[in-house]
């Protein structure tokens, strides 16, 4: 869902790669508070404001793919072995490839900045329309239900210390001008960590350069680009130095967005049974060969909106584009898929399951010891290592035992507000969150992460909580997904600065009504 | 404003902005990030405008920047690319071997394949390209493969690969798309399919307007069709916008084909003078043009041989071997001409130009059988060479004579 960090081809972190309208940022999804005329779901896909906020690129096509489903029922005596994991993945794969046939919303703009939106194969009927951008429009679906649409510029709803995140994974391009040829100089071979490493001058905060990594980059030194220390950095008072600062790297920034509010019954034939709405976003760019042969605006569709073109013609449309980016689950790209262009698979990331296990193993050896150093309990088995370790795995069999608890632990919620109806809804687990790579909205919840993603969720910090041991307690309270957002935790921790890692609120207040995301900052 | 002009404007604006940014940040540190971007933008500008002289300045500036940089890998890569465009193939190869990261960089490996192609190491070039494509399927990798395939004579397969290369491009890359269309068109032109060639040139023009590369190819094609006045006008427009000796040369050829030998001579002398100027300034880019020109000018046969040897000394492939053979033949040195011709033909390259060279050389070298064989091959490879209008004798109808239009581009020319 949070995907500010993207396939290398469009990643503007690399100095000479221009920011691209294909760069997807976030996908939000939650049940709407507006239940007049039935339940509704809000889905918002945000992306780079290129060429500018409120102006969209006519060469782009955005897809929001939606698949309603029933809630997963876990079998009794569930198998938490590696085999069990692979069977789970297989089952999900089969479901997505054979059973769920995702509907889709397609959006493109013409040269006059009119947005062409198409609703394809939905239960409530397929139709298309042309809408003005930068304003809310209410469309009427073939079944008579209303759908709210906003396409245009907004404030970036993501609030996050991106610099801190990149510092935690020793990601050189955020801090240095890295030659493109040096493909091994991205995540440097330095342990991941929440606490600065003693002597890690390649990344440790420099008070003389406060903007380093926040817009200012140094030249990459000759090397070696490694770390050979054996302890966390401490100040004179014995406090560790946090890699995070709690500052909002996206404050004052804008995005472009496609925001929809749709009746659940428009999406699902059985809204009472299908309580889950899975959504993910895709960006496609027009192929050069079709630039001159672009499908013209066709008045037929406007005159006969219900007689939508058949699937074959739609597929022909898609053949004129190439997939660039996908967005489903928060930090799937940044943390797990490592931004590789060929891992942009959207929901179909089942093939990456072994990679995820190995990747989590690698992250765990870094984050785990640093969590333990703070006196917190971690879900990762790091053999009581006193210091973060750089370790990678070639074998998923070797990695799995270390991450087994992390993958299968229930993620506690801070309270019961997420479950307003008090239903017997199982807590989510990391294994279900990242595979498939979708925003999975549970309509019987508030949609707060991981049961969707609400605008106000601090998902980056919640992602970090995956590495906490959810069976442990802090001052009598079980660990939960939001515990690292708790100021009291940091006040009592031997750390500076004493702050939650990421900002707790967005720089602009969200709206209480559609389109929910605040208006853009003036240019 | 044409697409080409708009692109140039964007690059110029970016160069200006980066330059201002560098002046502002100089207080903090030497900014290699902006320096790399600045060099890259200047390289783009020089490549796009085709100005070889700008590349020389860039090359010299790169040397200074590399000496100051702690991580010059990207700069070495750019230097290799610049060297290729300047026909300094040894320099390119040296640059590509300087930084360890370049051995694994896909783009560096593709540039190395360009060097291999220029040096006649066709299998190595193809192997490298295919290895890179197996990991990283890029349009420029596919374009290189297509070009190699076209040299084997399998036009259909080459065209399929060019089409696949186009399919990799987005609407943000229309210049590259136009370049690919030009390559496809030129491939068909070399095989005598002028209609199909024009289809591609027109598509290139529609995709990316105002690009001199497209206009040059169109001018060449209509000249080959015998529309000399139109072709001359087109080259004169190109020349007025950007005077280049190769266009002077082309105008000389056109006037020659149209029967105006006086104007032809004037343009060719001017071209020769400017080629020599370039060589005397240290450039090697125009060696192959000088070979053609001196072969045509009376009394310049020895010089043609010298230019051919010099070109061969920097790149040893079937084209340069064939050109040396031709120059030797024109200079009356048949034995050595046959030796070099044999080497050129051993490459297996399918080239109407090479076949015509072979036909002429073998015919004179008492191998009429081979002469006829290669002439048939030449006609089969390119059944529609350029037409010429011969001056009429009084009371006689005009005689049409055929001659071979000599394309100017050498294989392995770096992609745009």
Question: What is the helix (H) or strand (E) element at residue B395, kind and residue range?
Answer: none
Give whole-number Cα distances, A359 to A266, A324, A332, A333, A390, in Å: 38, 23, 11, 12, 12
The answer for A 314-343 residues in CB contact with B (under 8 A) is 322, 324
d(CA B27, CA A438): 46
Would residue A384 count as lying in a domain?
yes
Check if B137 contacts A (Cβ < 8 Å).
no
- DSSP per position, B276-331: HHHHHTT--TTHHHHHHHHHHSTT-HHHHHHHHHHHHHH--SHHHHHHHHHHHHHT
How is residue A421 written in tokens? Answer: 């109806």
Is the pLDDT assigned to residue A257 strictly greater than 60?
A: yes
Best mutation target among B40, B170, B174 (most A Cβ atoms within 10 Å) is B170
Q: Specify whether A381 is located in the same domain as A484.
A: yes
Q: Specify whether A245 is located in the same domain as A257.
A: no
Q: Which of A291, A322, A343 is the C-terminal boundary of a domain?
A: A343
Hey, which residues does A106 pair with through a beta bridge?
A63, A118
Q: Using the 8-state DSSP alphabet, how is residue A14 labeled?
A: S
Check if A215 contacts B (Cβ < 8 Å).
no
> What pLDDT, on a 0 to 100 scale, did the predictor assign at position A302?
37
Check if B207 contacts A (Cβ < 8 Å).
yes
Return the SS3 of B236: helix
Residues A65-86 have pLDDT tens digits of 999 999 988 877 788 888 888 8
d(CA B217, CA B201): 7
Flag if B170 and A287 touch (Cβ within 8 Å). Answer: yes
CB neighbours (10 Å) of residue A461?
23
Residues B73-113 have pLDDT tens digits of 889 999 999 999 999 999 999 999 999 889 989 999 999 99
How is residue B24 written in tokens? Answer: 């502002």
Residues B327-352 have pLDDT tens digits of 999 999 999 999 999 999 999 999 99
Q: Specify whether A20 is located in the same domain as A151.
A: yes
Q: Specify whether A177 is located in the same domain as A299.
A: no
> Closest Cα of chain A to B40: distance in Å?
9
Chain B positions in Cβ-Cβ contact with residue A324 (cut-off 8 Å): 170
Q: Structurally, how many domains does chain A consist of?
A: 2
Give the β-pairing of A218-219 and A321-327.
unpaired
The answer for B 139-168 residues in CB contact with A (under 8 A) is 166-168
> What pLDDT, on a 0 to 100 scale, did the predictor assign at position A353?
82
pTM: 0.89
Flag if B169 and A221 touch (Cβ within 8 Å). Answer: no
Would residue A505 count as lying in a domain?
no
Residues B278-290 have pLDDT tens digits of 999 999 999 999 9
Check if A291 contacts B (Cβ < 8 Å).
yes
CB neighbours (10 Å) of residue B372?
13
Residues A286-338 have pLDDT tens digits of 999 998 664 333 333 333 333 334 445 658 889 999 999 999 987 776 667 65
Would residue A136 count as lying in a domain?
yes
> What pLDDT, on a 0 to 100 scale, did the predictor assign at position B301?
92
- Helix B3-25 to helix B32-49 angle (10° resolution) is 160
Flag if A177 and B32 touch (Cβ within 8 Å). Answer: yes
> Closest Cα of chain B to A204: distance in Å?
18
Would residue A90 count as lying in a domain?
no
Flag if A181 and B207 touch (Cβ within 8 Å). Answer: no
Q: Specify whether A168 is located in the same domain as A154.
A: no
Check if B122 contacts A (Cβ < 8 Å).
no
Q: Specify whether A336 is located in the same domain as A360.
A: no
B369 and B356 Cβ atoms separated by less than 8 Å: no
Residues A275-296: what's their mean pLDDT?
85
Contacts 24+ apart (CB under 8 A), B22-27: none
Q: Specify whether A452 is located in the same domain as A466.
A: yes
The proportion of chain A whose per-residue pLDDT surpasses 90, expressed as a percent, equals: 76
A330 and A460 Cβ atoms separated by less than 8 Å: yes
> Closest Cα of chain A to B124: distance in Å?
22
How is residue A64 written in tokens? Answer: 């929001």
Listed residue (A164, A66, A168, A55) closest to A119, CA to CA: A66
Q: Specify whether A448 is located in the same domain as A321.
A: no
Would residue A425 count as lying in a domain?
yes
Q: Specify whether A310 is located in the same domain as A439.
A: no
Listed residue (A312, A327, A395, A243) closest to A26, CA to CA: A327
> Closest Cα of chain B to A218: distance in Å?
7
Cβ contacts from A onto B, under 8 A = 97
Residues B142-185 have pLDDT tens digits of 999 999 999 999 999 999 999 999 999 999 999 999 999 999 99
> Would you give the end-to-end CA distance of chain A in angstroms?
26
Q: Specify whether A420 is located in the same domain as A334.
A: no
> What pLDDT, on a 0 to 100 scale, did the predictor assign at position A184?
87
d(CA B101, CA B98): 9
Flag if A181 and B101 touch (Cβ within 8 Å). Answer: yes
- Helix B73-85 to helix B106-118 angle (10° resolution) is 30
A406 and A380 Cβ atoms separated by less than 8 Å: yes
Q: How confident is the model at residue B409 (pLDDT cuts 50, 70, 90)?
A: very low
A118 and A128 Cβ atoms separated by less than 8 Å: yes
Check if A298 contacts B (Cβ < 8 Å).
no
Is the pLDDT assigned to residue A112 strictly greater than 90?
A: yes
Q: Which of A343, A365, A396 is the C-terminal boundary of a domain?
A: A343
Residues B50-70: what's their mean pLDDT?
89
d(CA B43, CA A268): 55
How is residue A234 written in tokens? Answer: 């401490």
CB neighbours (10 Å) of residue B155?
19
Q: Specify whether A16 is located in the same domain as A127.
A: yes
Is the pLDDT assigned to residue B403 strictly greater than 50?
A: no
Check if A221 contacts B (Cβ < 8 Å).
yes
Is the pLDDT assigned to residue B416 strictly greater than 80?
A: no
Is the pLDDT assigned to residue B391 strictly greater than 50?
A: no
Is the pLDDT assigned to residue A117 strictly greater than 70?
A: yes
CB neighbours (10 Å) of residue A304?
12
Flag if A16 and B40 touch (Cβ within 8 Å). Answer: yes
Cα nearest neighbour of A293 on chain B: B207
> What range defines the domain where residue A48 resides?
8-73+101-158+252-343
CA atoms within a 13 Å half-sphere pointing along the CA-CB vector of A33 = 8
Check if B74 contacts A (Cβ < 8 Å).
yes
Mean pLDDT computed over every residue of chain A: 89
Residues B42-70: what's their mean pLDDT?
90
Cα nearest neighbour of B70 on chain A: A222
Residues A455-466 have pLDDT tens digits of 999 999 999 999
Residues B296-316 have pLDDT tens digits of 888 899 999 999 999 999 999
Would residue A86 count as lying in a domain?
no
Contacts 24+ apart (CB under 8 A), A269-275: A269/A123, A271/A38, A271/A39, A271/A68, A271/A443, A273/A70, A274/A68, A274/A69, A274/A70, A275/A70, A275/A71, A275/A442, A275/A443, A275/A444
> What pLDDT, on a 0 to 100 scale, did the predictor assign at position A313?
61
Nearest to B206 among A221, A292, A322 (CB): A292
Q: Specify whether A438 is located in the same domain as A401.
A: yes
Flag if A292 and B77 touch (Cβ within 8 Å). Answer: no
> Closest Cα of chain A to B95: distance in Å?
13
């Amino acid at each position: 869902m949070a995907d500010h960090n993207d396939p290398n081809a469009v990643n503007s972190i690399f100095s000479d790669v221009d920011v691209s309208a294909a760069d997807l940022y976030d996908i939000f999804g939650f049940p709407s508070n507006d239940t007049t005329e039935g339940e509704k779901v809000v889905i918002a896909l945000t992306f780079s404001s290129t060429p500018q906020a409120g102006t969209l690129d006519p060469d782009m096509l955005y897809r929001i793919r939606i698949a309603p489903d029933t809630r997963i029922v876990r079998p009794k005596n569930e198998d938490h072995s590696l085999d069990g994991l692979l069977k789970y993945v297989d089952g999900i794969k089969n479901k997505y490839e054979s059973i769920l046939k995702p509907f889709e919303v397609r959006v493109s703009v013409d040269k006059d900045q009119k947005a062409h939106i198409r609703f394809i194969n939905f239960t409530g009927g397929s139709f298309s329309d042309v809408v003005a951008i930068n304003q809310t429009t209410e469309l009427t679906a073939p079944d008579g239900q209303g759908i709210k649409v906003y396409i245009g510029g907004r404030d970036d709803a993501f609030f996050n210390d991106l610099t801190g995140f990149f510092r935690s994974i020793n990601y050189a391009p955020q801090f240095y001008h890295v030659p493109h040829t040096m493909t091994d100089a991205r995540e440097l071979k330095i342990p991941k960590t929440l606490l600065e490493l003693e002597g890690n001058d390649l990344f440790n905060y420099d008070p003389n350069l406060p903007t380093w990594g926040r817009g200012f980059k140094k030249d990459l030194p000759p090397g070696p680009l490694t770390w050979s220390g054996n302890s966390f950095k401490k100040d004179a008072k014995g406090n560790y130095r946090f890699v995070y600062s709690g500052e909002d790297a996206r404050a004052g920034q804008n995005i472009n967005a496609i925001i929809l509010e749709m009746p659940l019954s428009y999406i699902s034939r059985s809204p009472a049974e299908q309580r889950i709405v899975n959504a993910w976003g895709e960006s496609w760019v027009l192929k050069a060969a079709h630039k001159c042969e672009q499908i013209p605006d066709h008045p037929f569709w406007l005159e006969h909106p219900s007689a939508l073109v058949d699937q074959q013609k739609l597929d022909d449309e898609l053949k004129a584009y190439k997939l660039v980016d996908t967005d489903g689950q928060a930090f799937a790209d940044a943390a797990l898929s490592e931004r590789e262009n060929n891992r942009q698979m959207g929901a179909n990331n089942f093939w990456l399951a072994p990679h995820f296990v190995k990747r989590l193993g690698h992250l765990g050896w870094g984050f785990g010891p640093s969590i333990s150093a703070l006196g917190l309990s971690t879900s990762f088995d790091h053999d009581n290592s006193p210091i973060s370790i750089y370790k990678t795995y070639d074998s998923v069999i070797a990695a799995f035992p270390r991450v087994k608890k992390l993958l299968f632990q229930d993620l506690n919620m801070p309270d019961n507000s997420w479950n307003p109806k008090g239903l017997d809804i199982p807590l989510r687990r990391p294994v279900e969150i990242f595979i498939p790579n979708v925003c999975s909205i549970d309509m019987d919840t508030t949609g707060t992460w991981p049961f969707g993603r609400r605008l106000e969720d601090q998902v980056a910090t919640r992602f970090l909580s995956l590495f906490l041991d959810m069976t442990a307690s802090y001052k009598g309270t079980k660990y939960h997904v939001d515990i690292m957002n708790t100021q009291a935790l940091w006040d009592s921790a031997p750390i500076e600065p004493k702050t939650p890692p990421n900002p707790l609120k967005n720089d602009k207040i969200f709206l209480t009504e559609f389109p929910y995301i605040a208006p853009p900052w003036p240019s | 404003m044409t697409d080409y002009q708009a692109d140039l404007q964007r690059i110029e604006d970016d160069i200006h902005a980066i330059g201002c940014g560098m002046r502002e940040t100089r207080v903090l540190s030497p900014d290699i990030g902006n320096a790399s971007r600045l060099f890259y933008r200047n390289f783009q500008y020089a490549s796009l405008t085709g100005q070889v002289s700008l590349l020389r300045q860039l090359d010299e500036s790169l040397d200074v920047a590399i000496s100051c940089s702690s991580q010059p890998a990207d700069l070495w890569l750019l230097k290799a690319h610049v060297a290729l465009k300047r026909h300094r193939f040894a320099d390119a190869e040296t640059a590509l071997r300087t930084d360890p990261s370049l051995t694994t960089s896909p783009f560096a490996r593709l540039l190395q394949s360009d060097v291999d192609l220029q040096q006649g190491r066709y299998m190595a070039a193809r192997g490298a390209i295919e290895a890179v494509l197996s990991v990283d399927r890029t349009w420029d990798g596919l374009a290189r493969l297509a070009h190699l395939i076209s040299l084997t004579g399998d036009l259909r397969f080459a065209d399929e690969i060019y089409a696949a290369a186009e399919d990799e491009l987005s609407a943000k890359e229309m210049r590259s798309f136009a370049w690919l269309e030009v390559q496809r068109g030129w491939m068909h032109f070399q095989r005598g399919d002028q209609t199909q060639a024009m289809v591609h040139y027109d598509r290139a023009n529609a995709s990316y307007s105002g690009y001199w590369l497209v206009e040059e190819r169109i001018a060449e094609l209509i000249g080959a069709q015998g529309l000399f006045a139109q072709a001359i006008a087109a080259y004169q427009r190109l020349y007025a916008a950007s005077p280049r000796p190769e266009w002077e040369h082309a105008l000389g050829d056109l006037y020659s084909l149209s029967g105006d030998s006086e104007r032809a001579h004037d343009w060719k002398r001017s071209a020769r003078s400017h080629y020599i100027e370039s060589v005397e300034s240290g450039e090697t880019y125009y060696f192959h043009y000088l070979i053609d020109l001196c072969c045509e000018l009376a009394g310049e046969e020895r010089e043609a041989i010298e230019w051919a040897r010099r070109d061969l000394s920097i790149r040893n492939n079937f084209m340069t071997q064939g050109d040396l053979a031709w120059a030797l033949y024109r200079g009356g040195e048949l034995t050595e001409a046959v030796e070099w011709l044999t080497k050129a033909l051993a490459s297996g390259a399918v080239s109407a130009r090479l076949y015509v060279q072979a036909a002429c050389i073998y015919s004179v070298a008492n191998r009429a059988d081979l002469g006829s064989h290669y002439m048939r091959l030449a006609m089969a490879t390119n059944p529609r060479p350029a037409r010429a209008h011969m001056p009429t004798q009084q009371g006689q109808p005009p005689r049409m004579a055929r001659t071979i239009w000599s394309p100017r581009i050498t294989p392995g020319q770096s992609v745009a």
